[in-house]
Every structure is written in C-alpha cells, then in structure tokens.
Chain A
Amino acid sequence: MRYLMGLGNYTAGDDAIGVRVIEYIAEHNLEDGFRAIDMGANSLNLVAYLDPDTTAILAIDATKMGEAPGEVAFFTPNEVQSHKELRGLSTHEGDLLTVLEIAKQAGYPIPPIVIMGIEPKSLQPSMDLTPELGKKIKHYSELAISHLKTMP
C-alpha cells in the first residue's frame, strides 16, 4: 500500500497545511492507488504504517526551511538536519523525523519516505490557513499525488 499522510494541528494556522491537503483529497475523492491519512497531531501513529506491505509514504507537513510562505520542497529524512531540541515524545514535542528515528532504532522496516515540506507563514492559533497557503490547496494536492506516483 502507498500512503499520502498529512500532519499538523488543525487549530494552529498554517501548521494544519498537511491535514488540510488530505481533507481536500478526501472531499474530492482523489484517492487512486493510495490511501490518504489524516495523522493530525499524533505523528507517533506513523508506526502503524511501517510494515513490509507499505511501499511508499509521502508525508505533507508544515516545514520551516527559510523559504517564502507557501513554497514547497520535497526531501527525504536523510537530507535534512532537524533543529528541534526534544526531551520527550509527547504529541507536542515529537515530530515526524523523531518518530522515524525511534522506529528505525526499534527495528521497524522503513519504506521509502519523502516529506513534502510547505513553508508556513503563521503558526498562531487559528482555524484558518493564511491566504498564501490556503489559495494553493488544490495545487498542493495535485503536486503531492503526482509526486507519490513517481516514488518507486
């Protein structure tokens, strides 16, 4: 199975971009050869999808990369260095990279994973995305689906 996953907090502005894209895909019945998963703020649930039957994961997440708001980059976990200093693995402190590292050390099979990072503008409490990201939801959805298709 191939998965397109969205991560983020729905109530923290652009942090929700990943789950908003998944929501768009679900509402428009765009699942085709993959499953769209809303992981919400619970990135630890990623371990539920780490098994030999998983052939590819594309995870969409708000990512501070120093780019203009709304810009997109595709990267693998090995291609980045995280700047988050974490002392725990609550759903507040953990992130996708942390969960992957622990799962890897615990012996879980790690399928090909690509992260679609989207530069946020605001992470302040809000149920709305900023216009810079909100107007591109359809574009992000198409981009994510087409990139997942290119994954082996």
Chain B
Amino acid sequence: MTVNAHIHVHHLTRVEGHGNIVVNVNNGKVEKCEWQVPEAPRFFEAMVRGRHYSEVARITSRICGICSVGHTLASVKASETALGITVTPQTIKLRELLKHAENFDSHVLHVYMLVAPDLLGAPSVFPLVKTHGDVVARALRLKRAAHEWGSLIGGRTTHPTTPVPGGFASVPTHAELKALKEKLLSLAPDLTATLETVLALAPNIPAFDRKTEYIALSNDQNYGLYDGVVQSTLPDGMKQRYPVADYRKVTNEYVVPQSTAKYAKNKLPSYAAGALARFNNNFERLTPEAKGVAAKLGMKPVCGNPYLNTAAQVVEIVESFYDSLRIIDELLTTGVKHEELVKPTKFATGAGATEVPRGILFHEYTYDQDGMCTAGNCIIPTNQNHANIQGDFDKLVPELIAKNATEKQMELALEMLVRAYDPCISCSTHYLDVTFVR
C-alpha cells in the first residue's frame, strides 16, 4: 500500500488551458484529492449583450480556438430558435459536414499530439518526431486535410465565416465538393494506419472502471454530432431524453470552492460529456465502418473506462470520415445551390446545442424587437466534465494506493486521466517570447 504521496501538478501540460492536480496521502489515508480549475471567467455572455443577432456567433466563436466551429453552430442554432428560423435541408447537410471536419481535426490533434506521448512513454510529441517520424507525419497529414475540409465549408476552420443565422453566406461548388471527396478518399490508408497505431498502444491504456451518467445529443437518424435532443444514459443503460430548451434541468450548474469553473450534475453526482458519452448514447447509430473499429478496439456500450475516451475519439474519426463521404455524395446528387438566408419570424429566447469534440455544448440568447441580444448563456462541455473528473479521482486514488503505486505512477495516472477527457479549459495566449541571435 502506498503510505505517503504528495502530488501538486500546477498547470497540467498537454491540455487546453490550466488545471491543477493536488493529492496528499499520509499514512495511507487520502487527506486531499482535488482537480482544481483556476482559470479566470471570460464574460462572453456579457460581451454579446447589445449586439445584433448577425454578430453574436462571430463573437462567441472566439470562446475557443479549436471548437470555434461548434461554438459558431451552437450559437447560430440558438439564435435561429430565438428568431423562429427553420433552415433548409441543404444548410443542415453542410453544417453536418463542417461539424465532422472539426471533430476529425480536433480528435487527430488530441490522439496524436496530446495522448500518444503518454502511451509511447515520451514527455511530449517533440521527441516522437525523431523516434516515430512516420506517425507524426501522418498526424500532420490528417490535420492538414481536416483544415482544408473545414475551410472549404466554413470559409475558414478557425472562427468560420460562412455559417450564419438563416443558412450559409456562401456554399462550395460542385467541383469543390468532388475534390473534397477525392481528398478524403486519399486519407483511407492513414485511417487504417491510425487504427493500427492505437491498437498497438492499447495495452498501455490503463484499466479503470467507473461508470457514470453520460449526456449527449441524440436523434433517430444519425450519430447526432450536429443536432438532436439531450439524452442521458445511466450505468445500467437506461436512457432518458430532454428537449434542448430544458438544458438547465440537465446541467444544474453549481459552484465548488476548489474551482473557478462551474460544475454540473443531473441524476447522479456527476456526468460525463464527450466522445465516450456520445459512444455510450449513440452507438447504434454509428456507421458500420465506425462500429467495426469499435469492435476491433473491444469497445461496446456502456463503457465505463474514462481513459477510453481517446479510443472513442478514434471511433469518431472513422465515423466523421465515412458519414462525410455519405453527405458529400448526397450533396453531389442533389446539387448545391446558393440559397437566400431564412429571415426571422419572431424575436424571443431560444437555446441551441451541438456536440463539440469535448462534448455537448449549449448556447442560449434572448433578442429584443430590433434583433439586439439582451441576454446570453453558454455552457461548455469541459465544465460539465469537471465534477466527473473529480469523481474519477476519488475512486482512482484509493485504488492506486491499494496497488502500492509510487508517487510518480500516481501522478502519471491522474495526468493521463485528465488528458483523456481532452479538457479545453480556456483559451490562453500564444505570443512569441524571443531573443535575437543574429
């Protein structure tokens, strides 16, 4: 049994933003075990007040540099609900295609750049360039393709410009969509290689089980990345659905002393959002190809190992790939045409939700008769996961103590657990800090 351990990981690396891990074990007893989030509030809900509905998504897309597509889509969907706008089938297809691009892009970044170093025993991706150059080159190839894919549909992948309330400001041409399909098809060998790499590393994924409540969007037509109602799946597989408008009854945000971020809970003391939550909620509606990958990875719902969120992301990479090919084929068959934006029919309050790489994302706005925003609310998935990460810590640390884990092993296990959730705690600065050597 581990007798004493004192862990203080200040600003955990390889996550998006800042979080701390603090564990004190004395004489075999856990005296402190906390996942702390010290990020400062960013006040986006205040920033959108007084802005016209046409501007709101451009502001809220800046909440995140990785999930800016998701924030844009959740935002325009919320605005459309508030404004009484029903978009066309073509708009829905193009948004689904854009959503897939973001999910694919972000999951490739997380699996290859942030998690793979743990599984390969490297401190970061940098040494892997020399030892596993082909793997890093493949990751960059996949990321580049995802960037081009998202840029075509969204105008640009970071803070997209084309999705707006009522439709799309511009749409891709038939030839561009055909070229995108060819580009995607050329990635098939890289997808196969990705699965092989993950299967080879799978034995290094820790075995841990703590089933929880899983919350994700769900619908009866597809995997639900872009749209659906809110669905809860409990550890016994019991499911319940809620309208998106009732999202506050699901998220039930509250504050805790150890964190500046709000926590969330529904039926259990915590719930999980993200790839594993989607997998557990919507497994039946995965494409056959994605189901095949899940089988190879030995995954089936309800999967209670949070470390396997990364494996669920690999399943989703394949899901996004094949479902996008299907969408492109449909668009090529029906033809893509320029459509006028659908105009507002009312000015009221409305909520919208979409799945971003890290889980279910809610936006809600109220507009006055001039179309100006008077209130906003955004609930991001990482905040919904904080309580669940803490719940995992509370079960994992005693298990590690019982296994006589060293302080170093305990620290790595906790770091890997947090990283598995792919948390995106806030967006930080990216400036250069240099000295001239010329």
Contact = CB atoms under 8 A, between A and B. Distances in A.
Contacts of B429: 8-9, 12, 15, 62, 123
B430 A79 contact: no
A83 B434 contact: yes
B427 A92 contact: yes
B144 interface: yes
A152 interface: no
Nearest to B117: A88
Nearest to A12: B429
Interface string B111-132: 0011001000001111001100
Interface stretch (B8-16, B205-213, B285-293): B8-16
Interface residues of A, number: 55
A141 interface: no
Interface string A95-116: 1110000110111100000010
A101 to B, nearest CB: 8
B65 A47 contact: no
A80 B431 CA distance: 14
Interface residues of B, number: 50
B432 to A, nearest CB: 4
Interface in A4-45: 7-12, 15, 37-45
A88 B434 contact: no
Given A64-B431, A64-B434, A89 B125 contact: yes
Interface string B137-149: 1001001100110
Nearest to A51: B144
A9 B124 CA distance: 23
A91 interface: yes
B230 interface: no
B435 interface: yes
A37 B137 contact: no
Contact of A103 (B59, B140, B157): B140
11 contacts: A44-B143, A45-B147, A47-B147, A48-B151, A64-B433, A82-B434, A88-B125, A90-B15, A91-B65, A92-B17, A117-B434
